[in-house]
Chains A and B, each alone.
Chain A
Amino acid sequence: MADLDTFRRETRNWLEANCPPEMRQPMTSEEDTFWGGRNAKFSSEPQRIWFERMRDKGWTVPHWPREYGGGGLDGEEAKILRQEMAAIGARAPITSFGISMLGPALLKYGTDAQKREHLPKITAGLIRWCQGYSEPNAGSDLASLQTRAESDGDDYIINGQKIWTSYANYADWIFCLVRTDPTAKKHDGISFILFDMTSKGVSTKPILLISGRSPFCETFFDNVRVPKANVVGTVNRGWDVAKYLLQHERAMISGMGERGGSRPLGQVAADSVGSDGQGRLDDALLRAQIATFDVDEAALAAAAERMVDLAKAGQGHPAFSSAMKYYGTELNKRRHEILMSAGGIDALEWESERSGEGARPRAWLRTKANSIEGGTSEVMLGIVAKRILDLPGA
């Protein structure tokens, strides 16, 4: 306990000395997120300083081993770091699918060579990854994917199409599900493979969404040659890797329901609808909606904390991230419905500097994907029914 108290004190002092004041402000635009990668650009000097200091400390991924550029923290220490960062409103130094999705899968299934090759570049923010999972005819039924990888000596030749590939047009590498045995049952012929997005035959095409933005792409593979050594885990057992990675993806997406650095809803609403003489929002039903939301948000934060603690104690259920994903995404949609309602007509403006180019309505529309991406809410409930509740035929 005394050691943890010391760690907390040192962490607090270090953050105080090293986190620039600008990096303690709520994020207001997409430029505030640093993604890393070969073509990474910092949107500001404080963003660069903050990233580099955290990277040098090993705290872009505090709980990974030091040999891969992580911080080597144990569960309790990592929790303290999260709490201390939250206390000062510190932004994440980097957002990265390498950290939140691929890394955990590589740590579990990767060879030593694969770990040494890829993990240090993830912690240092040198390579930006994207995820090649969904296909036009393989959405909720992901295992029916058809992208083929055919053997050719030491290589595979990959042909097919992915869709909803987040930021594929900016990504340096892809982790991808491909069918290596078309004769096997659908879950049994899939492999998990890594390749460079600059490989010959890879092309991407952004998809315009209802938010007016294009965070997702169609990604095409036309005779892409990839070394067999890039398969993670066993050939044809890629579904195991895919599912394990999905647990981490779902845990990450469920976190979108947490407030993080943004302003409390009650304050945002007070600015637009006003308050009565006793300081209560001048819209009793909106106040009730926000209060109920705040209750659920605080409860979800406790559940997220407990999920980590349970996992650390070896008592977690592997399918629980589906439960959290369901709840967190539905909650985030609720948050943005409330933000739109609180903003009234001011939240309807789509273009203008005043509205941050329609930041609020675009963010609201973006959240509608939360309960679709990474597995729909309906798929999550099905997983809970089957794997946790053991209901028949689910």
Chain B
Amino acid sequence: MPLLLTEEQSMLRDSARGLISDHAPVAHLRKLRDTRDATGFSSELWATFAEMGFAGLLVPEEHGGSGLGAVEAGIVMEEIGRTLMPSPFLATSVLSASALTRAGSAAQKSEYLPKIAGGQLIAALALDEAAKHRPLHTALQATRSGNGFKLSGSKAMVVDGHVADLLLVVARSAATPGEREGLTLFLVDPRAKGIAVERTIMVDAHNAARISFDNVEVTADHVLGEVDGGAAVLSGVLDLGRGAVASEMVGLSEEVFGRTVAYLKERKQFGKAIGEFQALQHRAAQLYIEIEITRAAVLKALQALDADPAGATAAVAVAKARAGTTATRAVQEGVQMHGGMGMTDQFDIGFFMKRARVCEELLGDANYHAAQLAQLRGY
């Protein structure tokens, strides 16, 4: 398959770009931040997302979705990355929808997936617990109790955790933290007794929460997939999420780069455009090359996720590692080349720097993924 978008995919990109750039430029995020908006996103815009089929992009058609794949999810994420639009797309439409589609029972799928596709249900994946992304180190305890389980422990950086109608909680039902065996996914109502949700205001002004679980009772019906066998489902879901976040970082990097090159042509010092200085030209050219190479690596991973999800791990590790390194460089050069203006809150460039830092941590940073690749290759 060529490493290019198909005609249909290009059309999807154009329609996502049109919607997002019209309705959610960076000013949209700025306003949500400055007004300390309680939900952190626009439910109106999310309804439009649902109408256009984006909310249910990955939901199978029989459950009211579009039944599309990783490449399409990446296309939407890339456009989100260009304007930093805050939305439930990653947590609900990518991570949760794919977890439910892969592992859900018939009853679970028909209960939740149509609502996701319709934009009526916000879902969040509660996974990380410590400072760094380490899925297998999950310690939140699931103890058998009667017919079901009791959950105790805490989660951090739950994206959209404080606005979610449904939590997908990764818990340890057997073995010890660090082991692949013994993870179980649960579908949990965030209003259940014993749950405390604390919205955390993050550097990027996007949604996140810390959630604690104190003997939260869940029935066996709320297990998603197999008891103790959650790691297999999780790794597929996380790889898809990583491909999606990598796409967001490609969009973000390209947007920052575009703005920076425009500034190099426009800003004059010493009587000429600063873009005439070779010191800046070469750095701009290097950054362009990094972004183009990363774009190819990310598309390669997305295509691999669609063609052979189980065999895509190495390509995904490459994509997420590259995207993180590239975005970090893009925002650093972006601020530096904008000079003093780049340091002001009034200028948008800082928003990109902050979001890039969060994307880098989401679902594993560049070091994590490079180490994954080393492990896969046996050294």
Interface residues of A (CB under 8 A from B): 76, 264, 266-267, 269-270, 275, 279-281, 287-288, 290-292, 294-296, 298-300, 302-303, 305-306, 309-310, 312-313, 315, 320, 323, 326-327, 378, 380-382, 384-385, 388-394
Contacts and interface: CB of A to CB of B under 8 A. Distances in A.
A385 B297 contact: no
B379 interface: yes
B366 to A, nearest CB: 8
Nearest to A309: B2
Contacts of B281: 381-382, 385, 389, 391, 394
Given A295-B321, A391-B281, A313 B2 contact: yes
Contact of B275 (A279, A292, A323, A391): A391
A303 B292 CA distance: 7
A389 B2 contact: no
Contact of A299 (B275, B282, B297, B371): B297
B379 A303 contact: no
Contacts of B175: none
Given A315-B4, A382-B282, A264 B374 contact: no
A299 B296 contact: yes
Interface in B349-379: 366-367, 369-371, 373-375, 377-379
Interface in B292-350: 292-297, 299-300, 314-315, 317-319, 321-322
B284 A389 contact: yes
Interface in B229-277: 261, 264-265, 272-273, 275-276
B307 to A, nearest CB: 13
Given A313-B2, A313-B4, 7 more contacts: A305-B296, A315-B4, A380-B285, A381-B285, A385-B284, A393-B272, A394-B281
A118 B276 CA distance: 44
A302 B285 CA distance: 19
B35 interface: no
A323 B299 contact: no
Name B's interface SS.
helix
Contacts of B371: 288, 291
Contacts of B373: 291, 294-295, 298
Interface residues of B, number: 44
Given A295-B321, A299-B297, A270 B285 contact: no
Contact of A306 (B4, B321, B377): B4
A323 B289 contact: yes
A382 B273 CA distance: 16
A320 B275 CA distance: 20
11 contacts: A295-B366, A299-B293, A303-B295, A303-B297, A306-B4, A309-B4, A315-B4, A381-B282, A385-B281, A385-B284, A391-B264
A291 B285 CA distance: 25
B147 interface: no
Contacts of B317: 295
Nearest to B257: A389
Contacts of A292: 321, 370
A248 B321 CA distance: 30
Contacts of A384: 285, 288-289
Given A323-B288, A391-B264, A391-B265, A287 B374 contact: yes
B377 to A, nearest CB: 5
A392 B264 CA distance: 9
A342 B13 CA distance: 45
B3 interface: yes
B289 A295 contact: no
Contacts of A306: 3-4, 295-296, 299-300
A269 to B, nearest CB: 7
A266 B379 contact: yes
A291 B276 contact: no
Contacts of B379: 264, 266-267, 269-270, 275, 279-281, 287, 290
Given A303-B297, A385-B284, A391-B284, A280 B374 contact: yes
Contacts of A326: 285-286, 289
Given A281-B379, A385-B285, A302 B3 contact: yes
Contact of A303 (B284, B296, B375): B296
A390 B375 CA distance: 42
